[in-house]
């Protein structure tokens, strides 16, 4: 069972530094991660998240829905997934992407 205690805030509403620390340490309890929309998730945060995902093989599910990721941030995240062996499910995007976004193949994640 995964640990969800850090996912709901605990005073960390300003960013994701606490979650990055756990990812970088490959915390075995952090198998599923949902970053809620009240947490800051800007391009710099996504770049740090992507870097952490490159070496983390514990996390199998990542949900970033409701965060308005830029095209550049999504590309950085996508590139990091080429080096990740554990992630099986990922959800990204929000309504600002509209119908203009091309479908992303997740066959490599399955």
Per-residue model confidence as pLDDT tens digits over 44-56: 999 999 999 999 9
Length of the chain: 110
Q: What is the mean pLDDT of residues 9-15?
A: 56
Give the 3-state secondary structure of residue 75: helix
Q: β-strand 32-34 against 61-63: which pairing, if any? A: parallel
pLDDT higher at 93 or 26: 26
Mean pLDDT, the chain, integer: 80
Report residue 11 as tokens. 């005073």
pLDDT at 69 over 90: no
**Structure confidence at residue 108 (pLDDT):** 47
């Amino acid at each position: 069972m995964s640990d969800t205690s850090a996912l709901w805030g605990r005073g960390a509403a300003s960013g994701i530094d606490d979650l990055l620390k756990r990812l970088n340490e490959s915390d075995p309890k952090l198998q599923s991660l949902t970053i809620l929309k009240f947490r800051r998730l800007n391009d710099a945060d996504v770049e740090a998240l992507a870097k952490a995902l490159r070496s983390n093989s514990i996390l199998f599910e990542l949900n970033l829905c409701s965060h308005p990721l830029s095209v550049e941030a999504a590309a950085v995240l996508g590139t990091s997934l080429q080096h990740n062996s554990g992630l099986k499910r990922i959800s990204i995007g929000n309504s600002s992407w509209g119908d203009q976004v091309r479908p992303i193949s997740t066959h490599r994640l399955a």
